[in-house]
Amino acid sequence: MGKIDLGKAFDEGWKLFSKNMAPMIIATLLVMLIGGCSLGILMPAMIGGLMMMIRKADKGEAVQVGDVFGGFSNFGNLFVGGLIMLAAFIVGGIACGVGVIFTGAMVVFVFPLIVDKGIGPGEAWSKSWTAFKENIGGVIVLSLVVGFLASAGGVVVYIGMLFTMPFAYCVLWSAYKQVFNE
């Protein structure tokens, strides 16, 4: 497994986002609307679709807003993966609040692994856990930075998340590639 170079992940993430800004922003709006209106039930599939868009853009292929619905083709795995992530956040929160920093980092690669490798949520959790153990500091920093970046747009004006959330996922994707594809 490779190590995370956060500067390189930001640089590559920005290139992915800036070249595909309009469709990613509109797709993020759809993620927020559909995921929110479904009380979160459809959120994992929508985020998976956004990750599929990012993977497509990373391969140099043209992305379209409709690509965000691609996650529904793997709804079961993404939904269970989302439950695993939710459980990790709840356990971390109950443990001592700051435990979320660790549990969130342990599952940060679950969605990219399900989308990219086509594996089930259990195997994705296992691989994400292995990446965490082998690069604890880098994965924790990545998880914190991506989490902060994704939500930062909502601090001032909620609409800002339409920019910060897809950019954060592009950074996550770039870091994921460093860890798993080298």
pLDDT bracket for residue 152 (50, 70, 90): confident
Q: Give the Cα separation of 127 and 69 in Å (integer).
A: 25
Q: Give the Cα separation of 59 and 156 in Å (integer).
A: 34
Q: How many CB atoms lie within 10 A of CB 2?
A: 16
Q: How many structural domains does the chain have? A: 1
Altogether, the residues listed in the chain come to a count of 182
Note whether residue 29 is domain-resident: yes
Note whether residue 16 is domain-resident: yes
Interval 42-57: pLDDT, tens: 999 999 999 999 999 9
Encoded tokens for 64: 């379209």
User: For residue 117, is pLDDT > 90?
Assistant: yes
Look at the block and give the residue holding tokens 């390189």: 8
Interval 55-108: pLDDT, tens: 999 999 999 999 999 999 999 999 999 999 999 989 988 887 778 889 999 999
Residue 36: give the domain boundaries. Answer: 6-180
Note whether residue 1 is domain-resident: no
pLDDT computed for residue 116 by the predictor: 96
Percent of the chain whose predicted confidence (pLDDT) is above 90: 82
Find out whether 52 and 70 touch, Cβ atoms under 8 Å.
yes
Note whether residue 125 is domain-resident: yes
Q: Give the Cα separation of 125 and 172 in Å (integer).
A: 16
pLDDT computed for residue 64 by the predictor: 97
pLDDT computed for residue 182 by the predictor: 56
